[in-house]
Amino acid sequence: MKFLCPSQALGEGASRGFALDELRLLVVRREGRVYAYQNRCPHRGVALEWQPDQFLDASASLIQCSTHAALFLIESGECVAGPCAGQFLTALDCHEDSQGIWITPPTSEDDV
């Protein structure tokens, strides 16, 4: 398990990007819960953000791919609009405790 950041570094309705070795990921806080995904659009494998730490649409209610404008549900990573509709972002196991937000990186045999 790897430490990402203190809890207060990810406000409600906010997103942040991180790099852990070769793994690029994003985390989003929605309704007090933290969600983590690989930072890779299932359509073309490109990074999602249009600026550092900017992964959400204008309403901050969906994750948006800056390249194709695909929209993903924060809670499940499912694409609900765009060229990859029906596909999913790759979810990562994360949890939050009194120290902050932690991620369990995929093992070497997992798809990174």
Global confidence as pTM: 0.92
Average pLDDT along the chain, 112 residues, taken 10 residues at a time: 96 96 95 97 91 94 94 98 95 96 80 51
Q: What is the pLDDT of residue 44?
A: 86
Q: What is the pLDDT of residue 106?
A: 85
The total number of structural domains in the chain stands at 1
User: HSE on the CB side for 45, CA within 13 Å?
Assistant: 3
Q: For residue 109, tell me if it sits in a domain.
A: no
Q: What is the pLDDT of residue 107?
A: 78
* Residue-range definition of the domain harbouring residue 60: 2-104
Q: For residue 112, tell me if it sits in a domain.
A: no
Q: For residue 57, tell me if it sits in a domain.
A: yes
User: HSE on the CB side for 9, CA within 13 Å?
Assistant: 14
d(CA 40, CA 87) in angstroms, rounded, equals: 12
Q: For residue 63, tell me if it sits in a domain.
A: yes
